[in-house]
């Protein structure tokens, strides 16, 4: 996203009149979430200054600061002391999706539940196989991980502090038969380039004009 992110963190990039991350906060608040933890590294102090404690959205925001980028897995592990012992929802800050967040749950015997989407042009091979609402090592339809998932803290039980990706943990849990999933057929955009940011801007403008 450079040069856009040279002076502003990606979650604060404006989309349809507000920072991208505010769209997430509003959707989480609407879904009934009241406690939100935000990971940040690059220019993270700007995120804290802009969002504060979340009062204006009726939520309580806390922050998990990273002295260096820890990747998704390491970032979640770093935030575990703030997340508690119950399953929690994670939404990547650089995507936009209209999935119903309030309906996402995790079965007691599972370690993760992932939202998957049709493979976009920039990820044609997909990430995980989905068959009968379960993630499989080889069977079913191979889809792209949306960046939205519900996790049990036990998924990270063997991890150590530092930077590491999430995908290997998910694949290990899949091998144990402990990952469920769903295919979201609605809107989803990975805001990873200026072009996709513009696409999201156009999409949200179109949606607002229908109201």
Q: What is the pLDDT of residue 17?
A: 87
Q: Which of 77, 96, 30, 81 is nearest to 57 (CA)?
A: 30
Percent of the chain whose pLDDT exceeds 70: 95
| Dist. CA 11–CA 95, nearest whole Å | 9
The dihedrals phi and psi of 132, each to the nearest 5 degrees, come to: 55, 45
Percent of the chain whose pLDDT exceeds 90: 77
- Whole-number average pLDDT of the chain: 93
Q: What is the pLDDT of residue 68?
A: 87
Least confident of 54-58, 109-113, 129-133, 192-196: 192-196
The dihedrals phi and psi of 123, each to the nearest 5 degrees, come to: -145, 60
CATH topology of domain 4-210: Spore Coat Polysaccharide Biosynthesis Protein SpsA; Chain A (3.90.550)
Q: What is the pLDDT of residue 58?
A: 97
Domain residue extents for the chain: 4-210
Q: Kindly report the pTM of this predicted structure.
A: 0.93
Q: What is the pLDDT of residue 192?
A: 81
Q: In the predicted model, what is the mean pLDDT of residues 3-26?
A: 86
| Dist. CA 176–CA 31, nearest whole Å | 31
Q: In the predicted model, what is the mean pLDDT of residues 27-34?
A: 97
Give the model confidence (pLDDT) of 37-67 as tens digits.
999 988 889 999 999 999 999 999 999 999 8
Q: What is the pLDDT of residue 211?
A: 45
Give the model confidence (pLDDT) of 149-202 as tens digits.
999 999 999 999 999 999 999 999 999 999 999 999 999 999 988 888 888 888
């Amino acid at each position: 996203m450079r040069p856009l992110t040279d002076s502003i963190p990606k979650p604060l990039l404006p989309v349809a009149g507000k920072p991208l991350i505010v769209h997430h906060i509003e959707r989480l608040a609407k879904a009934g979430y009241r406690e939100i933890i935000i990971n940040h590294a690059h220019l993270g102090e700007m995120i804290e200054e802009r969002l504060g404690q979340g009062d204006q959205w009726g939520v309580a925001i806390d922050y998990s600061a990273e002295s260096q980028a820890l990747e998704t897995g390491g970032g979640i592990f770093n935030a575990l002391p703030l997340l508690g012992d119950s399953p929690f929802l994670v939404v990547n800050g650089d995507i936009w999706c209209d999935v119903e967040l309030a309906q996402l749950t995790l079965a007691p015997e599972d370690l993760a539940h992932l939202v998957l989407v049709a493979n976009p042009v920039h990820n044609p091979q997909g990430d995980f196989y989905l068959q009968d609402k379960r993630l499989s090592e080889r069977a079913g339809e191979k889809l792209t991980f949306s960046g939205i998932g519900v996790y049990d803290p036990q998924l990270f039980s063997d991890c150590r502090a530092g930077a590491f990706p999430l995908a290997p943990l998910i694949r290990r849990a899949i091998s144990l038969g402990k990952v469920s999933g769903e295919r979201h057929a609605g809107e989803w955009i990975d805001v990873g380039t200026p072009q996709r940011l513009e696409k999201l801007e156009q999409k949200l403008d179109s949606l607002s004009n229908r109201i």
